[in-house]
Amino acid sequence: MGEPEIVHGAIPAGSSVLELGCGTGRITHPLIALGHPVVAVDESPEMLAHVRDAEKVCARIEHLALGRRFDVVLLASHLINTDDTAQRTAFLAACRDHVAGDGCVIIQQQAPGWFASAADAESVREGITFRVRDVSRPAPDLLSATMEYVDGDQVWTQAFTARRLDDADLRAVLDGAGLRLDRYLTDDRGWLRACLPDLA
C-alpha cells in the first residue's frame, strides 16, 4: 500500500528505525529491504514471531524504556487516532523519549477527510479480503467501525474508535508531547513528520 516507500522517502538512507506497533512486519520487512536497521516493537508475541531480520522487543508502547535513541521512530497504523487521551499521550511520549536529537518521528494518522467519507466497504488485495463494517459516528470527530480480514478460512476482526485530529488538534497533541510538526508527507495529510522542537 506504499507505506514503506513513504517512510523511506522522508528519512536519510540507512537511518535506524524504531517501529512501534510493528504487528507481523508489514512495514518492517520492506524497510529492512530498503537498507534500514529496524527494532520492531509489539505487545503480541504471536505477531512478533512473524517478524524476520529485525531486533524484536515484546512490550507495550506505553511502557517502553529502551534507554536508546534512534534516527527515526515510526508510529503507524493510525495509533495516534486512539480516543484514549492518556494512551495517545503515552504513545507520543515513547516517540519523544526514543528519537535522537537530530532525528524525526514519522506518524500515520487517519486522513482528516476520511472521517466524513468512511462507509462500510470491501476490497481484496493480494488474496486477502478487507472489510470495513458497522461504521458509526457516536459523537462529533469520532468514528467507530470493525475491520475484518479474511484469508481463506481464517478471519480476524478488530473493532476500533478513532478520533479525528484537525491541524490545530494535531499541533496541540504534538506540542504537549514535546514534539513539533515538521511537515505532511502525503497530500491527504495521512502521513506526517515531527521533530524535537529545537530542530523544527
∠ CA(74), CA(188), CA(170), 5° rounding? 60
Residue range 4-56, pLDDT digits in tens: 999 999 999 999 999 999 999 999 999 999 999 999 999 999 989 999 999 99
Sequence-separated (6 or more) residues with CB below 8 Å from residue 111: 186, 188, 189, 190
Q: pLDDT value at position 200? A: 44
Q: In which domain, by residue range, is 155 found?
A: 114-163
Are both 75 and 140 inside the same structural domain?
A: no
* Residue 153 phi, psi dihedral angles, 5° rounding: -100, 10
Are both 14 and 101 inside the same structural domain?
A: yes
User: What CATH number corresponds to the domain at position 30?
Assistant: 3.40.50.150
Look at residue 199 and tell me whether its pLDDT is greater than 60: no
DSSP state of 10: T
Grid cell 510493528 in the structure block, residue: 22
Are both 73 and 136 inside the same structural domain?
A: no
CA-CA distance, 48 to 51, in Å (whole number)? 5
Are both 22 and 75 inside the same structural domain?
A: yes
Are both 174 and 93 inside the same structural domain?
A: yes
Residue 139's pLDDT band, with cuts at 50, 70 and 90, is very high
* Residue 78 phi, psi dihedral angles, 5° rounding: 60, 25
Q: pLDDT value at position 125? A: 85
Are both 43 and 124 inside the same structural domain?
A: no
Residue range 64-82, pLDDT digits in tens: 999 999 999 999 999 999 9
**What pTM does this model have?**
0.93
Above pLDDT 90, what percent of the chain? 93
DSSP β-bridge partners for residue 162? 82, 143
Mean pLDDT value across residues 161-169 = 96
Are both 170 and 158 inside the same structural domain?
A: no
* Residue 42 phi, psi dihedral angles, 5° rounding: -155, 150
Look at residue 136 and tell me whether its pLDDT is greater than 60: yes
The b-or-e profile of 62-95 (16+ CB within 10 A means b, else e) is eebeeeeebbbbbbbebbbbbbeeeebebbbbbb
Q: pLDDT value at position 1? A: 67
Pairing of strands 17-20, 99-108: unpaired
Are both 144 and 178 inside the same structural domain?
A: no
Are both 151 and 185 inside the same structural domain?
A: no
CA-CA distance, 65 to 46, in Å (whole number)? 21
Are both 38 and 128 inside the same structural domain?
A: no
Domain count, the chain: 2
Look at residue 128 and tell me whether its pLDDT is greater than 90: no
Q: What DSSP string runs through 133-183?
A: EEEE--STTEEEEEEEEEETTEEEEEEEEEE---HHHHHHHHHHTT-EEEE
46-50, 90-94, 169-173, 181-185: the lowest-pLDDT one: 46-50
87-96, 132-141, 149-158, 161-170: the lowest-pLDDT one: 149-158
